[in-house]
Structure 1
Amino acid sequence: MPKTLVDIQLIRVVFITFLGLFFFSKGSEIYGYTSDSPNQDSPNILFILADDLGQEGVSAYGGTIIKTPNIDRLADEGMMFTNMFVNPYCTPTRSELLTGRYPFRTNTLFPISNYDRHKNDVLDKSEPSFARQLKSVGYRTAIAGKWQLSFLAQQDWLNDFGFDTYMLWQIISEENERTTRYHNPYYRNDGAILDNEIADKYGPDVLVEFLSGFIEESHQDGKPFMAYYTAMLPHFPWVPTPDSKDKNLSTGFSRGINYGIPKFYPDMVKRLDYNVGRLLETLDRLDIAENTIVIFLTDNGTDQHLYSFINDQVIYGGKGTLTDRGSHVPLLIRWPGKVPPNSKNDHLIEAADFLPTFSELANAPLPKEHIDGRSFAKLLTGDVDSYEPKEWVHIQTAEGRYLRTKEWIVTNQGEFKKVQPYPVDAVIKEKEEIEGDELEKLMSFESLLQNLHE
């Protein structure tokens, strides 16, 4: 072949190779697969998950016993969701939030607390994780607080789930003994045990200091972050906080696990609110509040041993029950310049919706696995008109499951329940009490509920 033709062929090969690399690179950016060059406009995410707190525990939702000014600030400066639903226990909700998948798919049907009894009921590290998806597009990721999806002494899988760094309460020690979380806390920080070093500190405050440091480091490095504060407050044991006037625990009661004294519960909600304020102050101090989505959510309703008031009506905690008191929880989201301040939204939202929502907001890919949730990002970016509302949400604890619409509950026990204003429990209705078209619709939901499991 003449030298001129060889040169032309070589030029063509080089040119085609360049084009291929160029379009592959641009395609990776478009579909969010590059981790080296995150979008500079990618929003930071501060996700706060409280433990055992129903609507009645937040004054913005009508709670009248405890004032929560910092949490209420998120309602004043952002959006209050009035139809947010989770599962009535911690492990199923935390699993669904992280994976975007219902508990029956991930075998996380009930709270895990004992390694010998529950070691095969943990969330497998092969399951999806919103942290992993965000990390794939350049986010720095951290979690601090309560995990309860595996046993950290034997199954420390936080890095596998996509968290760059963590500080978590390790419920069971290496000696298989239950540990403490508030006073004389026993934490695990990136594989190392923190015990004596923080013995004289109040555990939740240590966690907030850790997360604030992570936020500051991420900002200095110029990387978007996901900071997941899985707060332990105000879960039992109900014990004094640093602000409590009474420090006496001598009259506490125990039922296998130390519950503490209910009179300290309001103090613990106040300390939760205080720590929410500290995290908001960190964003303000670093001047990054404008580009940070702040989410406040709870993992289930208030503990059944407690009662309080909402809009001056007495309410008993519904944690663990398949009622609205167990699953109908607060959700507040602030994103300055995007989410209208002091706004309300009544669309149905469930725990599985967060993974696809975070993925859409960060331009991250979805996992290959089936995801049950649906993104509600359009409700946060102002594109409400193109958002397709959900007809129902799915709620589960152990083998009990149901679909809930705004007006009805359809259970896997063949019951149809009419929803009542919160906090009144839904009322069972016999089929003959339900009008024809409505009954037909409910029966279609009943079939859908069964088919979800198949």
Structure 2
Amino acid sequence: MFASDRPNVILIMSDDQGVGDYGFMGNTVIRTPALDAMHARSGFLSRFYVSPVCAPTRASLMTGRYNYRTRCVDTYLGRAMMDADEVTLAECLRDAGYRTGIYGKWHLGDNYPMRAMDQGFRESLLHRGGGIGQPSDPIGAEGKYTDPVLFKNGEEVAMQGYCTDIFFGAAMDFISNSAASNEPFFTYIATNAPHGPFDDVPTELYEEYKNTDLSPLLVSPLPEKRREAEFDKLARIAAMITNIDDNVARLFAKLDELGVTDNTIVIYLNDNGPNSMRYVGEMRGMKTHVDDGGIRSPLVMHWPARISAGTMSTQLCAHIDVMPTILDACQVPLPASRKIDGRSFLPLLTNGDAEWPTRQVVFQAHRGNVPQRFNHFAIHENPWKLVHPSGFGRERVAGEAKLELYNLEEDPRQLDDVAAKYPEIARRLTQAYEDWFADVSMSRHDNFAPPRIVIGTEHEPETVLTRQDWRHVSGRPWGGASNGFWLLNASQAGEYEVEIILDSGDYPSGTATVTAGNAVGQCEIVAGKQRGHRTTLALPKGDISLSVELTLGEQTLGPHQVVLTR
């Protein structure tokens, strides 16, 4: 045991694993024996909610606050960056004497001052952006789940093995080192699996699931011509999920070996609904949906020292509650400088008579730069759900909102809209939502302004700008012919080298024009050359926007990535 009686903490969150992708949640196809065993000996929240997409969930998980307070409002185009002034769970535990490490997916900013290593994590081993296989991948290592190029404490490093195995292995090394130094630890394992792309999955497990009847996972019949492709994708997803489960087994074996299982909290959850329309139990929906299948997750909390096996609570809990709960368990105060929206659910799992006053919790996420009232939201107050499932990818037309009301105790599939039957409840929850929206929209001055990447500091001498964080202007956001700009803050005036990187070498020669405020630079683009096209700019101190326009033959487009070095 550690000298301190404070518990260690391991927080595990998978990416796009749905609420039904577990044996203990009724899935008869996907094997999760380690998670099933963990559930049997843990506390369990059966009515736990997350956001419909990943970055908003991660912002709430790390801060105990609704993501609209944190400037993180979407999953890309600069809107998955979290304001650097937020106080994170890692910062609170670090300041209380914990060793802190993160392994896998951060997705709250790839550049200073928003990286995990800037936000309280002493050690980090991460991919950039929202997942491997996205435009933020390192050049030459695009889409590699096996033998990926990752970022260890900010430095690019080539790894060997499958990504999930790598992340758990590095986390276990961190835990072992913490045990050896007799320090309490906080380990955040955020897998990028089973997020797509699906072409690189654990081979043996994939072969197993290819020969398995996956039809029980379907929620509606498929035409024959689509079945083969859908079953192949499901086999790949199932292989990734069982691989995570295998690593959970490895993790508990390591805790047993180190003798720290009893006083180590292990929490497992997923970040949003499943990444296909598949089994979600007695619910409907998938990732991006605000129906229950899109925003439910099991939450399993293993802590033998305090939580009895089989303890379960049906109270309404959510991602905003994880930070208050962990800090409560670790006897660390909440940050006094921030309004915390969540509450500790620890008493629900340690005290059978714990009071849990009726509460309302809101979930909203959609594309776009600024959140809109009534667009793709749900407000919950047990047993009621008031929802406007207008769609994640479309902005609401004024006057369109037709709100639906469901009693989830009687109608978990949301088949019977009872708004007309209970108009007073619908009105009350509508007003509660409007009050919530007004509150989270006024958390700070210019509340929904995108965060800025800070350049020219000793913390990040070389800044890599990717399409993950640009502000989109034209074309499909990540399409080859698209363009955008980056919002930056130069920490000091100076000369900067600008390297322009294309997405491949399959382009003719041409020119690049780089603009940052009043500064303009040009360079030649050499045919067949992906990177190494350079110019210099004299940049003033302060806020600037930087854009690059490439003229290549008949095409006008933006860069794939840009590297700035002062």
Taking structure 1 as the reference length, the TM-score comes to 0.79
Q: Kindly report which structure 2 residues correspond to 1:6-405, keeping only aligned pairs within 5 A, or say none.
A: 40-112=4-76, 118-119=77-78, 121-152=80-111, 157-171=115-129, 172-173=135-136, 179-195=142-158, 197-198=159-160, 201-238=161-198, 239-244=200-205, 246=207, 261-304=233-276, 306-308=277-279, 310=281, 318-367=286-335, 368-380=337-349, 382-398=350-366, 399=371, 400-405=376-381
Q: 1:159 deviation in Å?
A: 2.5
Q: 2:403 aligns with which of 393, 415, 427?
A: 415
Contact 2:361 2:381 in 1 (8 A): yes
Aligned to 2:559: none
Change (3 A) 1:443 1:326: closer
More divergent stretch after superposition (120-129 vs 317-326): 120-129
Q: Percent identity?
A: 27
Aligned to 2:460: none
Q: 1:126 deviation in Å?
A: 1.2
Change (3 A) 1:317 1:145: farther
Cα distance in 2, alignment partners of residues 215 and 176 from structure 1:
31
Contact 2:315 2:356 in 1 (8 A): no
SS of the aligned residue for 1:235 comes to coil
SS of the aligned residue for 2:204 comes to coil
Structure with the bigger percentage of helix: 1
More divergent stretch after superposition (409-418 vs 157-166): 409-418
Aligned to 1:452: 439
Unaligned runs of 5+ in 2: 130-134, 211-231, 389-400, 443-566
Q: 1:379 deviation in Å?
A: 2.3
Q: 1:41 deviation in Å?
A: 0.6
Q: 1:157 deviation in Å?
A: 2.3
More divergent stretch after superposition (414-423 vs 367-376): 414-423
SS of the aligned residue for 2:197 comes to coil
Aligned to 1:8: none
Change (3 A) 1:209 1:350: same
Contact 1:307 1:316 in 2 (8 A): no
Misfit runs of 4+, over 6 Å? 174-178
Cα distance in 2, alignment partners of residues 75 and 174 from structure 1:
35
Unaligned runs of 5+ in 1: 1-37, 113-117, 250-259
Q: 1:178 deviation in Å?
A: 8.3
Contact 1:347 1:390 in 2 (8 A): no
Contact 1:129 1:162 in 2 (8 A): yes
Change (3 A) 1:98 1:220: same
* RMSD, aligned α-carbons: 2.8
Contact 2:72 2:81 in 1 (8 A): yes
Q: 1:91 deviation in Å?
A: 0.4
Cα distance in 1, alignment partners of residues 140 and 74 from structure 2:
20
Aligned to 2:413: 424
Cα distance in 2, alignment partners of residues 365 and 269 from structure 1:
35
Q: 1:96 deviation in Å?
A: 0.6
Output one character per residue of 1:331-367: Cα deviation in whole Å (capped at 9) or x when no partner.
Answer: 1111103111022210111111111112221121222
Greater RCO (Cα-Cα under 8 Å, separation 6 or more):
1
Contact 1:65 1:309 in 2 (8 A): no
Change (3 A) 1:426 1:329: farther
Change (3 A) 1:308 1:177: farther
Structure with the bigger percentage of strand: 2
Contact 1:410 1:445 in 2 (8 A): no
Change (3 A) 1:215 1:392: same
Contact 1:180 1:186 in 2 (8 A): no
Cα distance in 2, alignment partners of residues 409 and 316 from structure 1:
13
Q: 1:263 deviation in Å?
A: 2.6
The count of residues paired between Structure 1 and Structure 2 equals 392
Contact 2:18 2:274 in 1 (8 A): yes
Taking structure 2 as the reference length, the TM-score comes to 0.64
Cα distance in 1, alignment partners of residues 238 and 79 from structure 2:
36
Output one character per residue of 1:22-61: Cα deviation in whole Å (capped at 9) or x when no partner.
Answer: xxxxxxxxxxxxxxxx971100011110111122101111
SS of the aligned residue for 1:183 comes to coil
Contact 2:384 2:407 in 1 (8 A): yes
